[in-house]
Chains A and B, each alone.
Chain A
């Protein structure tokens, strides 16, 4: 039993790390623009598919990963420029539909570029499983956890220690005030989209060796990332990370101990319960409207 539990935890943290990265992307964009970007999952897919395409074109892995991330960042910037900027201040549903439209559009492009097949990607450092106190994990899982940890720390440092990060954070609290103190809100908005796209792409590149990738691979991850961001209290980057890990572990435990078929139902039931008792997520700000 404890051996099983340990295995479930390892699995849960690996999957949860990805949800955390995707959720982090949601939180950053939400902070900067009040938009929930439903195309976040597509960044994950684009990162993975581009990297796979570059690898098969003969590029070495590190270079392929970097180029794929940069290309995805470019897509994020284009999305911001042509779909988000013209509609600043639009109601929530409008932006939801726009980003859903963007997701479908990007998926459609990926379908034309890479077809419908699943594409494999070689693991970064082999497939030989590592045994760890009764549980086994793939070296790729370590990559996932390690890089996630690194990225989360970097994002935190960026927001807390750098002027640029603080400026971005300022936009999330009060856009007008940020503008007044000389922050270029438009540039900040682009920065947020670029950053989220980059994080998404990296998540995709990390997971592709474990799960393969296809033009549709972003849907599920996007959904889970959104759940992670909501559970953590949307707009709270570290909350999204915690939410992602929580969701991943819960899914693994649910699949292992309760029922694998109802795994997603368990995950979403948990999300609902969290919201019923904490209507702004576990770590969200309590917002009071002014009358």
Chain B
């Protein structure tokens, strides 16, 4: 069952550019939806499964992006090494931060992660000699995978979709394993989890680091794909959007968060034509979905479909 879902998704993703060659909505929007989906899948491990909210996830996204940007533009570092460095930096910072920050609960945790995100953003804006300040850094070379340069839209689409499939695969494996069950136990009841021998502090630290690594990975890809980075891409709004994607898609569902990310990216592209009305519609839609489908789009819609199906069967019976 799990395999079927995964392969359907993979085939769908692979077919899109063949069916719609050179289509902006597939190539450019697809790439940014794919990056968002990687971020959402990673954040979902933390929020959906372990039940820990983060309103500062864009910070890790930014760390990956800026590490890649700085190392490749200032030190002519090969892109793969820069990417690895980004993962290490984000991972270490997440690890250091995890213990004190994950002791907090509910809104206090929301505040602390938000504050962390703001601090990192301020550093990006202010540390001009390193980060290029508000205008960011330009001229980041394309990703080079052992001699294969990712320099066309189609190649980027392929790389990012492969990365997304990898992220989904890792997430699915993790969730359905001893470690994943331990995480879900933390969300279910920290007391019971501890009494079954789960070091909940360690479990939370692990998942925080993992989701930071997902984010940094996406960040590094983002930097090479855009060929420039600026603090705008890593501010509070982005962090909030990421949380929205996860919740919109449905907490504790890997495909749900990926779908949430894709839906929100497309929504944004679609709403652009409404210009000044965009903001109002965006806000109203967010509220409506959360009020009428609190478990998220993915689950809400699939439940709705199932109910319809049952009704239909009943009618025909």
Chain A positions within 8 Å of B, measured between CB atoms, are 30, 36, 83, 86-87, 90-94, 96-98, 100-109, 111-112, 223, 226-227, 230, 234, 259, 261-262, 264-265, 268-269, 271-272, 275-276, 279-281, 289, 291
B103 near A279: Cβ-Cβ < 8 Å: yes
14 contacts between A and B (CB under 8 A): A83-B287, A92-B110, A93-B243, A97-B243, A97-B244, A97-B286, A97-B290, A98-B287, A104-B282, A230-B108, A268-B115, A279-B103, A279-B108, A281-B108
Please give me the residue from chain A that is nearest to B240 by CB atom: A100
Say whether B5 faces chain A, with CB atoms less than 8 Å apart.
no
Contacts of A289 in B (CB 8 A): 191
A93 near B286: Cβ-Cβ < 8 Å: no
Say whether B107 faces chain A, with CB atoms less than 8 Å apart.
yes
Say whether B47 faces chain A, with CB atoms less than 8 Å apart.
yes
B284 near A230: Cβ-Cβ < 8 Å: no
Please give me the residue from chain A that is nearest to B279 by CB atom: A108
B277 near A265: Cβ-Cβ < 8 Å: no
A262 to B243 CA separation, bound complex (whole angstroms):
26
A234 near B107: Cβ-Cβ < 8 Å: yes
Say whether B122 faces chain A, with CB atoms less than 8 Å apart.
yes
Given contacts A36-B110, A268-B119, A271-B115, contact A101 B284 (CB under 8 A): yes
A101 near B283: Cβ-Cβ < 8 Å: yes
> CB-CB contacts of B239-254 with A at 8 A, as 1s and 0s?
0100110011001000
Q: Among B101, B103, B114, B125, find the residue whose CB has the most chain A CB atoms closer than 10 A.
A: B114
> How would you classify the secondary structure of chain A's contact residues: helix, strand, loop or mixed?
helix
B291 near A108: Cβ-Cβ < 8 Å: no
Given contacts A36-B110, A98-B291, contact A275 B244 (CB under 8 A): no
Say whether B281 faces chain A, with CB atoms less than 8 Å apart.
yes
B291 near A92: Cβ-Cβ < 8 Å: no
A100 to B285 CA separation, bound complex (whole angstroms):
11
A104 to B241 CA separation, bound complex (whole angstroms):
12
Contacts of B122 in A (CB 8 A): 261-262, 264-265
Say whether B278 faces chain A, with CB atoms less than 8 Å apart.
yes
A101 to B291 CA separation, bound complex (whole angstroms):
11
Contacts of B104 in A (CB 8 A): 275, 279
Please give me the residue from chain B that is nearest to A107 by CB atom: B279
> How distant is A161 from chain B, measured CB to nearest CB, in Å?
29
Say whether B308 faces chain A, with CB atoms less than 8 Å apart.
no
Chain B interface size band reads 35 or more
Checking A94, A109, A264, A271 against B280 with a beta-carbon cut-off of 8 angstroms, the contacting residue is A109
Contacts of B248 in A (CB 8 A): 97
A275 near B108: Cβ-Cβ < 8 Å: yes
A28 to B236 CA separation, bound complex (whole angstroms):
25
Contacts of A264 in B (CB 8 A): 118, 122
A97 to B260 CA separation, bound complex (whole angstroms):
13
Q: For chain B, residues 262 to 295, give those with C-beta under 8 angstroms from any C-beta of chain A.
A: 276-287, 290-291, 294
Contacts of B277 in A (CB 8 A): 108, 112
A104 near B279: Cβ-Cβ < 8 Å: yes
Say whether B100 faces chain A, with CB atoms less than 8 Å apart.
yes
Please give me the residue from chain A that is nearest to B118 by CB atom: A268
Q: Among B110, B251, B291, find the residue whose CB has the most chain A CB atoms closer than 10 A.
A: B291
A87 near B290: Cβ-Cβ < 8 Å: yes
Please give me the residue from chain A that is nearest to B107 by CB atom: A36
A275 to B100 CA separation, bound complex (whole angstroms):
9
A261 to B229 CA separation, bound complex (whole angstroms):
20
A96 to B251 CA separation, bound complex (whole angstroms):
14
Q: Among B248, B278, B282, B290, find the residue whose CB has the most chain A CB atoms closer than 10 A.
A: B290
A93 near B53: Cβ-Cβ < 8 Å: yes
Checking B112, B123, B240, B287 against A275 with a beta-carbon cut-off of 8 angstroms, the contacting residue is B112
A271 to B101 CA separation, bound complex (whole angstroms):
12
Closest 5 CB pairs of A and B: A105-B283, A108-B280, A101-B286, A104-B283, A108-B279
Say whether B198 faces chain A, with CB atoms less than 8 Å apart.
no
Say whether B12 faces chain A, with CB atoms less than 8 Å apart.
no
A107 to B251 CA separation, bound complex (whole angstroms):
27
Please give me the residue from chain A that is nearest to B113 by CB atom: A272
> How distant is A270 from chain B, measured CB to nearest CB, in Å?
9
A111 near B290: Cβ-Cβ < 8 Å: no
> How distant is A251 from chain B, measured CB to nearest CB, in Å?
13
Q: Among A100, A104, A259, find the residue whose CB has the most chain B CB atoms closer than 10 A.
A: A104
A94 to B291 CA separation, bound complex (whole angstroms):
8
> How distant is B163 from chain A, measured CB to nearest CB, in Å?
26
B108 near A234: Cβ-Cβ < 8 Å: yes
A102 near B291: Cβ-Cβ < 8 Å: no
Say whether B111 faces chain A, with CB atoms less than 8 Å apart.
yes
Given contacts A92-B53, A262-B126, A268-B115, contact A108 B283 (CB under 8 A): yes
Contacts of B243 in A (CB 8 A): 93, 96-97
Please give me the residue from chain B that is nearest to A287 by CB atom: B105
> How distant is B234 from chain A, measured CB to nearest CB, in Å?
14
B290 near A269: Cβ-Cβ < 8 Å: no
B284 near A105: Cβ-Cβ < 8 Å: yes
A105 to B280 CA separation, bound complex (whole angstroms):
4
Please give me the residue from chain B that is nearest to A233 by CB atom: B108
B115 near A92: Cβ-Cβ < 8 Å: no
Checking B107, B114, B119, B294 against A92 with a beta-carbon cut-off of 8 angstroms, the contacting residue is B107
Q: Among B116, B279, B285, find the residue whose CB has the most chain A CB atoms closer than 10 A.
A: B279
Say whether B106 faces chain A, with CB atoms less than 8 Å apart.
yes
Given contacts A272-B115, A280-B108, contact A265 B280 (CB under 8 A): no
Please give me the residue from chain B that is nearest to A227 by CB atom: B111
Contacts of A30 in B (CB 8 A): 107
Please give me the residue from chain B that is nearest to A90 by CB atom: B294
Contacts of A291 in B (CB 8 A): 191
